[in-house]
Chain A
């Protein structure tokens, strides 16, 4: 699996996964290019443009109750959304993988202690844990990234742990040890590359979950601090005006669903493509 090139992985993806990949890349590019593409500053107020409808010559996707441009807010919202989701996923993957590797390799005491810590984190529903942390440390991007990093760590740790248990028995690990490789070298040069595939799949899945969690917190008004744009807060705002201005609710709702769907489908497709066993069982 280590030797399979990126090209061959992409080539083995199903059509649905390819579409998901294209949509994901498009969202990432739009998020990066938001300052260039967005027609307005996302927080600037425009009294004349209040509740501008979709297709308004000035505001392509309309404007909200303060006249803030919806398209610009969606684009900048994507930026915040992806940045927090990706940072939290990187953080949890790094921490979780190290915990799982170490726990799987030094099974006895260290392993037991680390995996009990994981059990404790798992015993709290993610959203409740996040709400608790936001109460203590206040809302905002930094809190979000750290909290979501913590919330998503157990999944990585469990995967890394299970995989390490198997791989650590492999002959190439044994031979590396006989050649005098240090534990550190064995962990990161022999074991890690061989357990990376399921972790990459989990990373993609985590990005989707992080967008889900972050936008939920922002919907509750406890995620991204207004007036900075976030999709969850836009849905919450739109809910107040949905009787007369349904687009204010439906557009951000659509943005959330499309991006989570694209990333989740991508994760599904990657799981199939990276799992050698799934080829014969593909239904």
Chain B
């Protein structure tokens, strides 16, 4: 099993290296000079003196050969240095570390709530009758189809504008005002959780229905275990493997959803940093956020794979 985990980590690092390289090359191919954009802003390039441009390019390291830039970026990466933001003149690593906890907080809370709720709803629907199944199918279809930014804005409209029971958005540090912090968390997490809960509920339902058909379940019933015992002991545990797979696959969607939700609720996470970077062409920031997000994604998927082997002993063999 440790060999398997080690192998997954090695492939994960390999994939990340490829991504870093592709991102680096992609930025090199962009038309337009970031130094010029930085000096001239959105206005014309006419007023920029060539001397100032050269000085800035030298300071940003843009005058060095591409290969040298690449190697020094890779070298920096090894020591956790993601370069310096063009706009804010601060280390990208510092900027990202300042925002990362806020995004991870959203992701972690949503993952826990959605998994618990989704498994509960899916398992109940599978044990319920035809009506329960139909109702669940329709609601989960709706939950999957509604984009997070739509759920988010409609939640703001209902809870903050119409009912005035929750704040429309913003952020307060937990240690400054825990109550307010949690209040501000409710709507963003809810907005993301709806979709994920729906996906997990559907997967759980079909997995439970499939498992309930198995021979060992019939055996468990035949030896006289009660319905509840059979369900908890034989059905549910064996249905969780596909659920773990889906949670792993949905992590990407989840990370993408935070981008939109952070915008809707002005939540200062990684994504707001990314969008600011996008609008000001702050390449080091964009590069950093893309790499860190990819790293997170790969890491979480390895974690899910490990969880997989814990849930299903058969997976340990392969």
Contact = CB atoms under 8 A, between A and B. Distances in A.
A68 B98 CA distance: 41
A136 B22 contact: no
Contact of B27 (A136, A265, A283): A136
Interface string A2-23: 0000000000000010000000
A215 B147 contact: yes
Nearest to B154: A253
B153 interface: yes
Nearest to B286: A135
A132 interface: yes
A77 to B, nearest CB: 14
A246 interface: yes
Interface stretch (A88-96, A120-128, A191-199): A120-128
B144 interface: yes
A261 interface: yes
B297 A261 contact: no
A242 to B, nearest CB: 5
Given A131-B275, A136-B30, A222-B278, A124 B145 contact: no
A239 interface: yes
A103 B69 CA distance: 35
A66 interface: no
Given A120-B18, A126-B253, A268-B141, A220 B154 contact: no
Contact of A120 (B19, B142, B154): B19
Nearest to B281: A135
B248 to A, nearest CB: 11
A235 B252 contact: no
Contact of A132 (B26, B146, B255): B26
A257 interface: yes
A260 B145 contact: yes
A125 B145 contact: no
A123 B293 CA distance: 9
Consensus secondary structure, chain B interface: helix
A249 interface: yes
Contacts, number: 126
A128 B256 contact: yes
- In this complex, the member of B153, B257, B294 whose beta carbon has the largest number of chain A beta carbons within 10 angstroms is B153
Consensus secondary structure, chain A interface: helix
Name the interface size band of chain B. Answer: 35 or more
Name the interface size band of chain A. Answer: 35 or more
Contacts of B133: 283
B32 to A, nearest CB: 10
Contact of A128 (B22, B30, B148, B259): B259
B142 A257 contact: yes
Contacts of B19: 120, 123-124
Interface string B98-109: 000000000000
B150 A256 contact: yes
Nearest to B252: A125
Contact of A220 (B22, B275, B297): B275
Interface in B149-175: 149-150, 153-154, 156-157, 161
A232 interface: yes
B9 interface: no
A219 interface: yes
Given A120-B15, A123-B298, A242-B161, A128 B293 contact: yes
Given A132-B286, A235-B149, A250-B154, 16 more contacts: A123-B294, A123-B297, A124-B19, A124-B293, A124-B297, A125-B252, A125-B293, A126-B252, A131-B275, A131-B278, A135-B281, A216-B147, A216-B260, A256-B150, A260-B146, A283-B209
30 contacts: A123-B16, A124-B19, A124-B252, A125-B252, A125-B256, A125-B293, A126-B252, A126-B256, A128-B255, A128-B256, A128-B259, A128-B289, A131-B278, A132-B290, A135-B286, A215-B149, A216-B149, A216-B260, A219-B149, A219-B263, A222-B275, A236-B149, A242-B161, A250-B154, A257-B145, A257-B150, A261-B145, A261-B146, A264-B144, A268-B141
